[in-house]
Amino acid sequence: MTARYKEIKEKIQQKFEKLPRNHQIIADYIVDNFDKIPFQSVQEISEKTGASVASVVRFAQRIGFTGYSELRDAISDSLQSHLTKQDAFPLVLQSSKGEDLLTSVANIDIKNINVTLAELDREVFSDAVNVFVKSNRVFTAGLGISYLLAEILAYQLTQVGIDSSVLKHSCTVFEEQVLYLKKEDVLVTFSFPPYSKETIDAAKSAHKRGIKVISITNKPTSPVTFYSYAVLIVKSENMLFTNSFAAISVIINAIATACAVKNKSKAKKILAESEEIMFNQNLVIKQ
């Protein structure tokens, strides 16, 4: 990712929370359709977002450009090198009878992974891994399918020697549980549409208490990002009204693997001891 590409998106993110609602809609459209903007006029942006032409121009000015034309040119320049990157792996080919449902779903997930790999800031990812490795404890949080993802990350980190647990959605809300976190702890939030207010409140509370929040979410302007030390953007588009977790699973595995690589001896020791406990409890069979 070029520095300019990242800079433009960060400008939008930094201003987003204070933008009027119609400008936030424009911001979301531009961030979600970055590669299309160089080919769209101000009138087309107006039609796509339901905002007036004047609003589109004022939005560009609010984030530091003289107008929409300068914003479009800056995006076009930033994409010159970015768009030449090849996909990590190709889409599944259609059969001679056309694309069936299984192929369609697979292609969406492959696209999610490709876009995530192309756009995820490696420095931010590396910084997040360092935070995990140096932390006292890692707590994960999310609701719905995000709760399952939070459990998986906590489990994966525990397996490689990082003390981790998931915030429970029980008689106490996440924000109450955050009260027991220490400054050396880390909170990881999974936040995907529809965004859980409880998860956002937990991130906000942790941020106020000086606890680092690492967020895994679908776009740089999602609500939880404004309370986060580091944000990992993962594409989660799906044919249904839910989120696909294919690309999210890749990121979870990558985080756990990177943490293990950072501290190989500890990770190896914990894995060996865990296997021994499982064997002694007759829960697994030694190979």
Which three-class secondary structure state does DSSP give residue 261?
helix
Is 50 exceeded by the pLDDT of residue 230?
Answer: yes
On the question of pLDDT at 65 being above 70, the answer is yes
The amino acid that residue 37 corresponds to is I
Instruction: Report the SS3 class of residue 91.
Output: coil
Token pair recorded at residue 265: 């001896």
Q: What is the pLDDT of residues 10-29, one digit of tens each?
A: 888 888 989 999 999 999 99
| Residues 221, 15: Cα–Cα separation, whole Å | 10
Amino acid (1-letter code) at residue 237: E
The pLDDT of residue 2: 46
Which tokens belong to 193? 């549409």
Is 60 exceeded by the pLDDT of residue 284?
Answer: no
Burial tier of 197 (Cβ tally within 10 Å: 0-12, 13-18, 19+):
exposed
**Is 83 or 235 the better-scoring residue by pLDDT?**
235
What is the structure's pLDDT at 1?
Answer: 45
Looking at the DSSP assignment, which residues form a beta bridge with residue 191? 217
Q: What structural domains does the chain harbor?
A: 3-82 (1.10.10.10), 119-278 (3.40.50.10490)
Identify the CA nearest to 16 among candidates 233, 220, 236, 229.
Answer: 220
Q: Token pair of 152, please? A: 């998986």
CA distance readout (Å), 107 to 85, 114, 197, 247: 18, 10, 31, 12
- For the whole model, what pTM was predicted? 0.74
Please give the Cα distance from 5 to 242 (Å, whole number). Answer: 29
Least confident residue range of 30-44, 176-190, 214-228: 30-44
Q: Name 274's Cβ contacts closer than 8 Å, sequence gap at least 6.
A: 159
- pLDDT tens digits along 72-118: 888 887 765 554 454 556 666 555 566 678 888 888 899 899 889 88
Residues forming a β-bridge with 189: 141, 215
pLDDT over 60 at 3, yes or no: no
